[in-house]
Structure 1
Amino acid sequence: MPSLHEPQLEFVDCANPSGRHAMAWWSWGDCKARHAVVCVHGLTRQGRDFDALARALVEHSDGSLRVIAPDVVGRGRSDWLPQPAHYQLPQYVGDVLTLLQHLHRQHSLHTLDWVGTSMGGLVGMALAGQRDLPLPVPVRRLVLNDVGPAVAWPSIVRMQGYVGRYGTFEDLDHAAAYLRSLSAGFGPVPWSEWLSLSRPMLRTDPQGRLTLHYDPAIGASIAAVTPELAQAAEATLWTLYDAITAQVLLLRGAQSDVLDPQTAQVMTERGPRARLVQLEGVGHAPTLTDSLQMDVVSGFLLAASPGD
């Protein structure tokens, strides 16, 4: 019998405008648990980013919940889309809805919580802020990890400079060093921990060379973003944020170049009035792997609700 603390890999069949694709998803905990915590990663990451947090949540809940972390399409073990233009938020939201409906059919969900890092937080806002989506149950608690409706334009320019532009590596150490050079904002992560985070970020290409796990075509959608498009997206995201009824925890790396202090403050004053926790010595984005960060998230998600 597999350990509840080790990730189990499954796949769900999803639709896209050109056909079908398989989305990989990882789970920890009892597959029959009716409390699901869905964790969704950032733009160029994958579901195994949540290994440490998932284990902590399962342990602290005494096995009463299940943690689910998909590899968003085009990343990790999931299929790649045939059309680069379809790597967009609506596709990601649709895929997660398919996954949640699949989980609900297996074992009826009673409680749904969400942890979203960067892009994963935008997906969470889109799910929690739309009343007409066929969610099996509403999102109860939402953790937004260093992201809000307004994404600072310089950070988009930075992403345009590297997303989809990668080569091959001699070995894990060289790949991990490259990834670390792109991820200074993650903070002072110990090297052994960084290797663990980096290993699932790699795949072997058809020529047998070590390379990154994601479809480089993801970079096309980022390259196409202009200040005007970003401004229009921001207006839509604020509308979604204001409609959220879930309890919201907002984490911000104190040195973040994605979520600026002004946006974070406004998020505490409107819509769901997020509770803001700023993390010193970190930029974009907190890894949720050290004990302090995991305790903040676990404390928020596992706190008793009124009437419990």
Structure 2
Amino acid sequence: MVEAKIKSVQCLSMAGLHRMVYKEWGEPDNPDVLVCVHGVTRVSDDFDNLARALCKDFRVICPDVVGRGRSGKLRNPDLYRIPQYVADMVTLLARVLADEKQTVSWFGTSMGGLIGMGLASLPETPVKKLVLNDIGPVLDGVALRRIGDYIGQELRFPSFEAGLQWVREVSRPFGLHSDEEWHKLASDVLRQDTDGQWVRHYDMGLAQPFRSITPESAQADQAMLWAAYDAIRCPTLLVRGAQSDLLSHDTALAMTQRGPKARLVEISDVGHAPTFMHEDQIAIARDFLLNT
């Protein structure tokens, strides 16, 4: 079975240095690079199936965004925001791209899609193709509060099995998965603490920016996200879980009419967000990335 190499890069925030770990799949000299970035409390391991399927065509780079998984933490949790993540990805791309003229394809799930939008909107961006997985410029307020509450709960589980059952419950919108797949989805984001209990594998400080959201700041953020989306010029694929509570059908349709005029694919019987663990979903990404 094809396996990834685990590497890291040092990044900078206003609070100091931190290390971002990433998984690299495929040949290191392949000039076609695909960067896959996960959701707010997930990790790079989410893309193992997708990366294995595409690593013959791409050098696939899957980072643990700072504060998650194998990566370090920010000393100031208020910096857990999209601008910091975009800056970290610029540092990552400076490491993995052979020269400044090289381009990349981007696959972003939820938060990873927002990071991709920010990067793809910039002048002289290296992003040549963009896949947005269940995310857009308009974020449902109820869903955001749900995510914020979910992030901030300091949960401890007496066994992996107890943590697994919790992950299955809160991740029900992912859709149908086998017991083996649920085991992987849980083991990727749970770790055993020094006292033997199981906890989620991210910095609890991630919740701080969510707590500071106000109606006014949310409106300003939405305006900035639409401005970023409208500035994107590369081919864009928008994938929506048909039952998503974060990305509405109306917003998805609006995204097909403005900015890069994304191609829209909706996946039935899935909410937020499609996992791209299954071949039918992987085929959607493969077709766009290789044939567009």
Whether TM-score is above 0.5 comes out as yes
The equivalent of 1:291 in structure 2 is 279
The equivalent of 1:9 in structure 2 is 6
Alpha-carbon distance, 1:66 to partner: 0.8
Supply the distance in 1 between the matched residues of 2:159 and 2:45 (Cα, whole angstroms).
Answer: 19
Secondary structure class of the residue paired with 1:235 = helix
Q: Structure 1 residues 190 and 12 mapped into 2: Cα distance closer, same or farther (>3 Å)? A: same
Offset from partner CA, 1:235-289 (integer Å, 9 cap, x none): 0011110110110000000000000011000000001000000000000000011
The equivalent of 1:30 in structure 2 is 27
Q: Is the 8 A contact 2:159 2:197 kept in 1?
A: no
Supply the distance in 2 between the matched residues of 1:30 and 1:108 (Cα, whole angstroms).
Answer: 19
Alpha-carbon distance, 1:110 to partner: 3.3
Supply the distance in 2 between the matched residues of 1:10 and 1:159 (Cα, whole angstroms).
Answer: 29
Mapping of residues 268-307 of structure 1, within 5 Å: 268-303=256-291
For 1:20, the aligned partner's letter is L
Supply the distance in 1 between the matched residues of 2:241 and 2:104 (Cα, whole angstroms).
Answer: 25
One of 41, 64, 74 as aligned partner of 1:71 = 64
One of 42, 48, 53 as aligned partner of 1:45 = 42
The equivalent of 2:103 in structure 1 is 111
Deviates more, 1:16-25 or 1:221-230: 221-230
For 1:117, the aligned partner's letter is T
For 1:149, the aligned partner's letter is P
Q: Structure 1 residues 83 and 288 mapped into 2: Cα distance closer, same or farther (>3 Å)? A: same
Structure 1 spans left out of the alignment, 5+ residues: none
Alpha-carbon distance, 1:228 to partner: 1.7
For 2:81, the aligned partner's letter is Q
Structure 2 spans left out of the alignment, 5+ residues: none
One of 78, 84, 102 as aligned partner of 1:85 = 78
The equivalent of 1:130 in structure 2 is 122
1:176 aligns with 2:164: yes
Offset from partner CA, 1:12-58 (integer Å, 9 cap, x none): 00001111000010111111111110000001111110001111112
CA RMSD of aligned residues (A): 1.5
Supply the distance in 2 between the matched residues of 1:171 and 1:207 (Cα, whole angstroms).
Answer: 11
Deviates more, 1:195-204 or 1:272-281: 195-204
Offset from partner CA, 1:85-113 (integer Å, 9 cap, x none): 010111100111000001125x7773310
Secondary structure class of the residue paired with 2:72 = coil
TM-score by length of 1: 0.91
The equivalent of 1:215 in structure 2 is 203
Identity over aligned pairs, percent: 44
Secondary structure class of the residue paired with 2:188 = helix
The equivalent of 1:56 in structure 2 is 53
Supply the distance in 2 between the matched residues of 1:45 and 1:253 (Cα, whole angstroms).
Answer: 17
Deviates more, 1:16-25 or 1:160-169: 160-169
For 2:84, the aligned partner's letter is Q
